[in-house]
Amino acid sequence: MIVAERKPFDEILSMIGNARKVLILGCGSCVTVCMAGGEKETQLLASTIRLSDKKQNITRELRCATIERQCDKEFFAAVANDVKWADIIVSMACGVGVQFCGEVFTDKEVVPALNTKFYGATVEQGVWSERCVGCGDCVLFKFGGICPIARCSKSLLNGPCGGSQNGMCEVDPENIQCGWQLIYDRMAAIGRLDLLEQNQPLKNWSTGRDGGPRRVVKEDATL
């Protein structure tokens, strides 16, 4: 899923500025799972804004709504009236949802309440971690199913750098596991260390972000 986290409150407040009718729009998919922008979080943000407004003597109306997905146009119809009412939409979706919201409601200002972080998974209660950067040419089969591009701080393809120590990465030995130690251990466990002895040539990055904004077209699904 896409993992995101809420922006600092003051930043959100400054984006809202003088808008007096604010629609806080949650998303029921990834960001609900990672507890950043689901229904619960829209309520939480609304009450924080109310509290702050009260302190500052600001009169402002807030509405909360959450749709199933903000990355699919069809779900926005459910909130069309709220949008019409609002001066501004604070989208609690990932960056994709925020942009799509603006593409549907072209005459409204839409601001992001979240910082979109990565494609990842829940590793323990309340902890998410990155697994993929969408390089567009998956090479997981060469590395025992552990991605060196996403999980090595330097995206190295031929083995660990000199900074790998006790399973941790030099970039943050407290918090970041060395992706290459993980790859090595996994390859040893499945008896495929031989794969790691092969020299990996230069990667073609043009299938990723470096090739410019991407599009996928599935011919048999187009109208």
**Nearest approach, Cβ of residue 206 and another protein (Å):** 11
Separation of alpha carbons 111 and 220, rounded Å: 35
Q: Judged by CB under 8 A, which of 129, 153, 177, 207 binds another protein?
A: 153
Q: Using CB distances below 5 to 8 A depending on partner kind, what does residue 133 bind out of another protein, ligand SF4, none? A: ligand SF4
Q: Should residue 43 be labelled a site residue for another protein when binding is judged by CB under 8 A?
A: no
Separation of alpha carbons 147 and 120, rounded Å: 12
Q: Should residue 169 be labelled a site residue for ligand SF4 when binding is judged by CB under 6 A?
A: yes
User: For the chain, how are helix, strand and coil distributed in percent, rounded to 5?
Assistant: 40, 20, 40
**Cβ closer to another protein: 119 or 205?**
205
**Nearest approach, Cβ of residue 204 and ligand SF4 (Å):** 11
Q: Should residue 12 be labelled a site residue for another protein when binding is judged by CB under 8 A?
A: no
Instruction: Return the SS3 of 88.
Output: strand
Q: Should residue 24 be labelled a site residue for ligand SF4 when binding is judged by CB under 6 A?
A: no
Give residue 28's identity as a one-letter amino acid code. G
Q: Should residue 171 be labelled a site residue for ligand SF4 when binding is judged by CB under 6 A?
A: yes
Assigned token pair, 20: 């007096």
Half-sphere exposure of 91 (CA within 13 A, CB side): 29
Separation of alpha carbons 45 and 22, rounded Å: 11
Tell me how many degrees the CA angle 167-168-173 measures, rounded to the nearest 5.
Answer: 150
**Sites of contact with ligand SF4 (CB under 6 A):** 132-135, 138-140, 147, 149-150, 152-154, 156, 160-161, 163-164, 169-171, 178-180
Binding site for another protein (CB under 8 A): 153-167, 170-173, 178, 180-181, 184-185, 193, 196-197, 199-203, 205
